[in-house]
Chain A
Amino acid sequence: AAGVIQSPRHLIKEKRETATLKCYPIPRHDTVYWYQQGPGQDPQFLISFYEKMQSDKGSIPDRFSAQQFSDYHSELNMSSLELGDSALYFCASSLGGRLRSGTQYFGPGTRLTVL
Chain B
Amino acid sequence: RKEVEQDPGPFNVPEGATVAFNCTYSNSASQSFFWYRQDCRKEPKLLMSVYSSGNEDGRFTAQLNRASQYISLLIRDSKLSDSATYLCVVPPFTNSGGSNYKLTFGKGTLLTVNP
Q: B-contacting residues of A (Cβ < 8 Å)?
A: 30-31, 33, 35, 42-45, 48, 50, 55-56, 58, 88, 90, 92, 94-109, 111
Contact = CB atoms under 8 A, between A and B. Distances in A.
Contacts, number: 72
B102 interface: yes
B7 to A, nearest CB: 14
Contact of A108 (B43, B97, B106): B43
Nearest to B43: A106
Contacts of A92: 103
A103 B87 contact: no
Contacts of A108: 42-43
Contacts of A58: 102
B99 A30 contact: yes
Given A42-B87, A100-B32, A106-B43, A31 B105 contact: no
Interface in B72-115: 87, 91, 95, 97-108
A98 B43 contact: no
CB-based closest 5 A-B pairs = A96-B99, A106-B43, A31-B99, A42-B105, A56-B100
Contact of A50 (B31, B32, B45, B100): B100
Interface size class of B (residues with CB under 8 A): 20 to 34
A106 B44 contact: yes
Majority SS of interface residues in chain B?
Answer: loop
The interface centre, meaning the residue of A30, A90, A99, A109 with most chain B CB atoms within 10 A of its CB, is A99
B20 interface: no
Contacts of A45: 102-104
B41 interface: yes
Contact of B41 (A44, A88, A98): A88
A104 B101 contact: yes
A100 B91 CA distance: 11
Given A42-B87, A101-B99, 18 more contacts: A30-B99, A43-B44, A48-B99, A48-B101, A56-B100, A94-B101, A97-B99, A98-B95, A98-B97, A99-B32, A99-B95, A100-B32, A102-B99, A102-B101, A103-B34, A104-B101, A105-B46, A109-B43
